[in-house]
Amino acid sequence: MLLVCLGQSTAFAQCAPAPDSPYFFRNLSEQRAEAKIAANPAVYEKLLSDTFLGHSQGGKQMSKHDFIGAELAAQPAKAVRRFYAISNYALLEHRKGYTVASYLLTEGMIGPGETHVVESQMREVYEVVDGQWRLASVEAAPVPAPSHAGP
């Protein structure tokens, strides 16, 4: 009887998204955002390729080491709650061993009496390295402020 229950429970379990799915790559982006909040460098070390190249919103190029340091720098006080949201996720290019993704990343902090939100248009390039998908580059661009038409 126990084996029947175990078999039924695995039949209803969710499967991880396939590596040819936008959900697979979105999941990798979410893992990185969660690792930033948790200040977990191990996720970055595992996900980023050894030849990783990052670009900040200001256009500054960063090595893997510099990027991880910038992502995990200046953790907020315990009274501050951090959050993120990923929207408009799209695969711009997807072929065997190479994928380019784009999305809007909203990051923020909620503290005593203050909320701070930053939006970035992200572009990520993933490549297969030693049989695993690795993040080869990230570009963050500021999101233009909406224009307000006058009367």
Judged by average pLDDT, the poorest of 37-41, 75-79, 136-140 is: 75-79
What is the predicted pLDDT for the residue at 53?
95
What is the predicted pLDDT for the residue at 148?
60
User: Looking at domain 19-142, which CATH architecture does it have?
Assistant: Roll (3.10)
Q: DSSP string spanning 2-55?
A: HHHHHHHHHHTSPPPPPTTSHHHHHHHHHHHHHHHHHT-HHHHHHHEEEEEEEE
Domain ranges of the chain: 19-142
Judged by average pLDDT, the poorest of 9-18, 30-39, 104-113 is: 9-18
pTM: 0.80
What is the predicted pLDDT for the residue at 2?
39
Spatial strand order in the sheet of 61-63: 61-63, 48-55, 132-142, 114-129, 98-111, 81-95
**Quick one: pLDDT band at residue 111, thresholds 50, 70, 90?**
confident
What is the predicted pLDDT for the residue at 56?
82
pLDDT by residue (tens digit) across 28-55? 999 999 999 999 999 999 999 999 999 9
Calculate mean pLDDT across residues 11-21: 58
